[in-house]
Amino acid sequence: MIDFDDVAFIENPYPALGELRKAGKPVWHEQTGIFLAARYEDANAVLRNRSLGRIFKPRAPEADWSTFNWLHSDSLLDSEPPKHTRLRSLLVKAFNKNKIDSLRPEVDRLTKKLLDEIDVKLAETGQFDVIGDLAEPLPVKVIAALLGFPDEDEHLLRPWSQAIVKMYELNPSEEAQAEAQLASHEFAEYVRGLMEERKRNPGTDLISDLAAVEEGGEKLNAQELIATCVLLLNAGHEASVNGFGNGFVAMMHRPEQLSLLANNPYDLASSAVDEFIRFDAPLHLFERTATADVEIGGVLVKEGQKIAALLGSANRDETVFERPNEMDVTRDPNPHIGFGAGIHFCIGAPLARMEMSVSLPALMARHPRLELAAEPIRRPGFVLRGYESVQLKVN
């Protein structure tokens, strides 16, 4: 059975996940006390079945976890209908396709600026870090601009986010827990200050829009607004950073795929982005709880029991994808569920896709002859899969 703490498994989970799919049904995992849905059909059902809920269990003691708890219980990610329906309808009024499309010129500008800075690094040192110099700062800068965060405070956001999302791993350390508690408090208070200022002096940023948005007489309360802003940064940029980094490293190990994209960066950008997300998913496990007895893939999940959709495994399912263990940046169709499905489909997915579809071809067009300058450094953990550093040089 899978050991989520095993270093070799974390480095390459796909062979073990392939074995898990052979069971043909969800499998009970004693170590975590949850069912694991590894097949595409089962994982998709876990995401969509209304008898399975995203039930947030507050952490104790409350005195230590108070802010962390309400940041999650009042967020879109950890709520279910009718609360989820109300929150999503309000958020979509402010954070919609038009809002995302309006950000494209800013994404273009920021991408060019970051690539110019990369060129300086290349001239000085001969290499750069595609994570630290492009994939990581771009979505943070975009979301900071979206929410109207002052430029001088931008450096605070990524450390806060990284500290909070470490709690999504299956066995966070005591140190990680303490860091998450502090980051939750600091981040929430920072957003609270901005929210109060925007209520007095509204702008064109998303915080101002969220403070004003109304649907059927309903508005976001203060905690819901703060939780929404924190979620947008945490979920929005994690998917973009890790999706870009995971796919890029996989491509660098496959010269024929690198050549395909380098020769057609703009034509293949869209399909390459989806293949990046499919081939090495940024989010591997999404847990839900049975609110009533429910059958998934022929297995009875009793009320109160948990079942997890293994997204990375589902995206390698042999019954859905041809050559599932091969990367193909031209793959079409590509019905991956890397961004989730159902009511919990990632609300930031269109923004992450847009950012990657701008930055990836721009990088490849400017530097079509890239190669690894060192072995990539992977982040520890299975649930959120990504790299800390990927050093590149120009051949």
Q: Which residues pair with 289 in a beta bridge?
A: 53, 306
How would you classify the pairing of strands 391-394 and 387-389?
Answer: unpaired
pLDDT value of residue 29: 97
Cβ-contact 51, 347 below 8 angstroms = no
Cβ-contact 234, 184 below 8 angstroms = no
Contacts of 40 (CB under 8 A, 6+ apart): 314, 315, 317, 319, 320, 337
Structural domains in the chain?
7-394 (1.10.630.10)
| Alpha-carbon gap, residue 307 to 47, rounded angstroms | 10
Classify residue 256 as exposed, middle or buried by CB count within 10 Å of its CB (0-12, 13-18, 19+): exposed
- Say how many C-beta atoms besides its own lie within 10 A of residue 255's C-beta: 11
pLDDT value of residue 344: 82
309-349 pLDDT, tens digit per residue, is 999 999 999 999 999 999 999 999 999 999 999 988 888 88
Instruction: Give percent above pLDDT 70 in the chain.
Output: 100
What does the DSSP 8-state code read for residue 327?
A: -
pLDDT value of residue 94: 86
Residues of the chain predicted below pLDDT 50:
none
Local structure of 254: helix, strand or coil: coil
pLDDT value of residue 389: 97
Closest CA to 134 of 318, 319, 391: 391
200-250 pLDDT, tens digit per residue, is 999 999 999 999 998 878 899 999 999 999 988 887 788 899 999 999 999
